[in-house]
């Protein structure tokens, strides 16, 4: 049996600007997840996940379809609350406070922990109104025009849309729409940005732009990203968590588990679990 080949180009990608484990772990813990499990209508979808997310880093969740990585990311802003029958067990601490505590308002959480979805979902309104929606509903003070411009600049979209802010957002290209959605999330001054496969519906050039953006944004924000694309995780993430699917012995139930969580360099070069190695070397999934 041949030894797994780890692509040297990938190592080079990983090495680019990679932080050491020590560097990362000295940072503040934004999220501390312990023994988290999610079930839908009593059927477990994800079990026993414990990990920390560090400030001003990009943390990637990778794994095959059905491994629960999208379910997991939606625990961080309590979007699972919106799904009837979804139940979250275990704890998620956000800067030390329990996200699922009794007196916690999910609405307040979501303004601090923004989210960008897999498919660009601009509102059927003008570009300006898309960005202004968040500040408006939250009653944020200050000049709205400035806020809109600032958010669009941060999302590297300002130059492309500054002359047509009143035009409908649905007329933008897919990549522009996704950057608009990122700008929309930034406009409410979040602390964390969750991205659920943000580039999976985009062409390679748009994907590159989104990835460059993540490198920029992590200076100010903490970013958590779910991705199908391992190269993307290798390019953008400081920390990577690999999830896998466990099938019950009788084949009836499938649930996601966290296999390995470490620095991206470690995950892609010297993973400690055989399943991670098989996945990142392309033998599986």
Partner 1 sequence: MTSVELQQETTRRSRAWKNRLFLGVMLFSMFVAFGTLAVLLVDTIVTGWPAISWQILSSLPSSVPGEAGARPAILATLYLGLIVLVLSVPIGVLTAIYLEEYANRSRWWNKLIEVNIQNLAAVPSIVYGILGLAFIVRGIGVGRVVFAGGLILTLVVLPTVVVASREAIRSVPDSIRQGAFALGATKWQVVWRQVLPAAIPGMATGSILALSRAVGETAPLLMVGAVVYVPFNPTLFGQYTALPVQIYNWTKQPDAEFQTLAAAGAIVLLVIVLSMNAVAIFLRNRYRRQW
- Applying CB under 8 A, the residues found at the interface with partner 1 are 77, 79, 82, 84, 107-112, 114-115, 117, 119, 121-125, 133-134, 137-138, 170, 181, 184-185, 188
What is the enclosing helix (H) or strand (E) of 129?
A: helix 127-137
Nearer to partner 1 among residue 119 and residue 283 (C-beta): 119
Sheet containing 113-116: give its strands across.
97-98, 86-94, 29-40, 43-54, 254-263, 239-247, 58-62, 222-226, 192-196, 113-116
Give the β-pairing of 222-226 and 239-247.
Answer: unpaired
| Alpha-carbon Rg for the chain in angstroms | 19
- From the CB of 75, what's the least distance to partner 1, in Å? 14
Q: Which two tokens stand for residue 32?
A: 């501390």
Nearer to partner 1 among residue 63 and residue 120 (C-beta): 120
- From the CB of 174, what's the least distance to partner 1, in Å? 13
- From the CB of 45, what's the least distance to partner 1, in Å? 18
Nearer to partner 1 among residue 184 and residue 275 (C-beta): 184
Nearer to partner 1 among residue 117 and residue 158 (C-beta): 117
- From the CB of 188, what's the least distance to partner 1, in Å? 6
DSSP for 43-69 reads EEEEEEEEEEEETT-EEEEE-STTSSH
Nearer to partner 1 among residue 38 and residue 267 (C-beta): 38
| 170 contact partners, CB below 8 Å, separation of at least 6 | 122, 124, 177
- From the CB of 149, what's the least distance to partner 1, in Å? 18
């Amino acid at each position: 049996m041949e030894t797994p080949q780890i692509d040297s180009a990938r190592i080079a990608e990983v090495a680019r600007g990679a932080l050491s484990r020590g560097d990362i772990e000295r940072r503040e813990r934004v999220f501390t997840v312990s023994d988290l499990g999610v079930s839908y209508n009593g059927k477990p979808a994800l079990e026993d996940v414990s990990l920390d997310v560090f400030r001003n880093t990009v943390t990637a969740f990778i794994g095959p379809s059905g491994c629960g990585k999208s379910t997991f990311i939606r625990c961080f802003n309590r979007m699972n609350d919106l799904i009837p029958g979804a139940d979250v067990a275990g704890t998620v601490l956000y800067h030390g406070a329990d996200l699922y505590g009794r007196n916690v308002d999910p609405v307040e959480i979501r303004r601090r922990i923004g989210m960008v979805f897999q498919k660009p979902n601009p509102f059927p309104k003008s570009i300006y109104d898309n960005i202004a929606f968040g500040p408006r509903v939250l009653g944020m003070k200050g000049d709205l025009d400035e806020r809109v411009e600032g958010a669009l600049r941060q999302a590297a979209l300002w130059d492309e849309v500054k002359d047509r802010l009143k035009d409908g957002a649905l007329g933008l290209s897919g990549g522009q729409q996704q950057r608009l959605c990122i700008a929309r999330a930034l406009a409410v001054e979040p602390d964390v940005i969750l991205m659920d496969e943000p580039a999976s519906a985009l062409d390679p050039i748009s994907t590159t732009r989104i990835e460059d953006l993540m490198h920029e944004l992590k200076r100010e924000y903490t970013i958590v990203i779910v991705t199908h694309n391992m190269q993307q995780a290798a390019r953008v993430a400081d920390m990577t968590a690999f999830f896998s699917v466990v099938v019950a012995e009788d084949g009836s139930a499938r649930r996601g588990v966290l296999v390995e969580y470490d620095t991206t360099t470690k995950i892609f070069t010297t993973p400690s679990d055989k399943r991670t190695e098989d996945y990142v070397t392309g033998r599986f999934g």
